[in-house]
């Protein structure tokens, strides 16, 4: 048969991992979430230094710059929504209708232009409407989703 030829595989963002996320997110809702009623998620995206991340700082991924993945605590309700830019730099809003009562875990998917690497920023929404943020998912969870390990 033919001899194998060594080939160099080009760099791919699919294979690359960022050790620390370059983006941060804080999430709040307008109040308590109720099953079957639309809720608006207000996102504040910043870099590690606290500078707001606007559309110009993010690359499109699957036709959007900011995706929000939501899942209830039991894993019965999973939703994927896109977030639209708000009036202030670094602010985004998304609407979703929880199908279950209680807490939701969420991951904000962005691709910062500075690295061109996808990042999934974890947060948690409490069913009571308490605000969530980058630390609300726990440091270990944030590290898990930032590194993919």
Asked if residue 23 lies in contact with residue 45, where contact means CB atoms within 8 angstroms, the answer is yes
Q: In the prediction, which pLDDT does 8 show? A: 61
- Rounded to whole angstroms, the Cα distance separating 114 from 51 reads 13
Q: Tens of pLDDT along 39-70?
A: 999 999 999 999 999 999 999 999 999 999 99
Model pTM score: 0.75
Q: In the prediction, which pLDDT does 30 show? A: 79
Q: Which DSSP letter does residue 100 get? A: S
- Tokens for 8, please give them: 């160099």
- Tokens for 103, please give them: 């807490």
Rounded to the nearest 10°, the torsion over CA 13, 63, 65, 54 is: 120
Which residues are registered as beta bridge partners of 92? 43, 85
- Rounded to whole angstroms, the Cα distance separating 117 from 101 reads 34
Residue 145 has pLDDT above 70, yes or no: no
Q: Tens of pLDDT along 75-98?
A: 999 999 999 999 999 999 999 999
């Amino acid at each position: 048969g033919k001899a194998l030829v060594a080939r160099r595989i080009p760099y791919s963002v699919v294979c690359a991992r960022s050790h620390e996320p370059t983006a941060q997110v804080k999430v709040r809702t307008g109040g308590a979430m109720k099953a079957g009623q639309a809720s608006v998620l207000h996102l504040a995206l910043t870099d590690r230094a606290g500078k707001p991340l606007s559309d110009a700082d993010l690359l499109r991924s699957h036709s959007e710059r900011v995706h929000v993945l939501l899942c209830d605590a039991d894993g019965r309700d999973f939703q994927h929504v896109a977030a639209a830019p708000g009036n202030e730099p670094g602010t985004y809003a998304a609407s979703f209708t929880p199908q279950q009562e209680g807490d939701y875990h969420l991951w904000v998917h962005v691709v910062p232009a500075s690295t061109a690497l996808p990042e999934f920023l974890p947060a948690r929404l409490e069913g009571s409407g308490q605000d969530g943020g980058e630390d609300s998912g726990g440091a270990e969870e944030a590290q898990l989703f930032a590194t993919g390990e």
